[in-house]
Amino acid sequence: MGTKIKKADFIYDEITKLFPNAKCELNYRKDYELLIAIMLSAQTTDISVNKVTETLFEKYHSVADFANAELKELENDIRRIGLFRNKSKNVKAMAEIIVNDFNLTIPNTQVELEGLPGVGRKTANVFLAEFYRIPRIAVDTHVSRVSKRLRFAKETDTPEKIEEKLKKAFPKYKWISLHHKFIFFGRYFCKAKKPGCLHCPIIKYCKNPII
């Protein structure tokens, strides 16, 4: 077993011990609810999104309801989270396409998802992995930070490059769980500020420990 494989296995196992139940923290019941929740989560917390969608999904009962919503009213419904105007516009436009072109069902291909308004590669990856269980690694700020600190990626690497490197470092069957474990590790342990370096079980692989 190569050194890189040993490192990847060790890191995966140790983070699993810290966060054995790492999973998507967005609340949803249907495919369009998940996609909308992911779209709303950009540059804000899952907790904030869940507070908004708790009432949002009670008000709008189908993707058609979002397509037919008045834009100003939709803006007001999600105004508690950042970038609400742009997100409202994208959610409505996305819903209109799903109604008109996809028979009310969110597509399950990367190309079709990324063709929707407000849906980039990260959002598409999260949706495919969570709803359809298609192996993907979505790179958000937490995954990016952890990957760079643990030397899986360089500081200058783009999210796409980080995704590519992680896919090479870990077997495909671990991709979905790795995404959640890295998010939890970055969100609750290896934080941007005041990371838990003193108690980190994988500190030997960190490029810049704060001790």
Residues identified as active-site: 122, 140
Burial of 184 (0-12, 13-18, 19+ CB in 10 A): buried
Q: Are 159 and 139 in contact (CB under 8 A)?
A: yes
Beta strands in the chain (DSSP E): none
**Residue 30: both structure tokens together:** 């249907």
Q: Name, in order, each residue with C-beta under 8 angstroms of 86's C-beta and a sequence gap of 6 or more.
A: 118
Burial of 210 (0-12, 13-18, 19+ CB in 10 A): exposed
Q: Which two tokens stand for residue 98?
A: 């799903």
Distance of CA 55 to the CA centre of its chain: 22
Residue 172 token pair: 């495909």
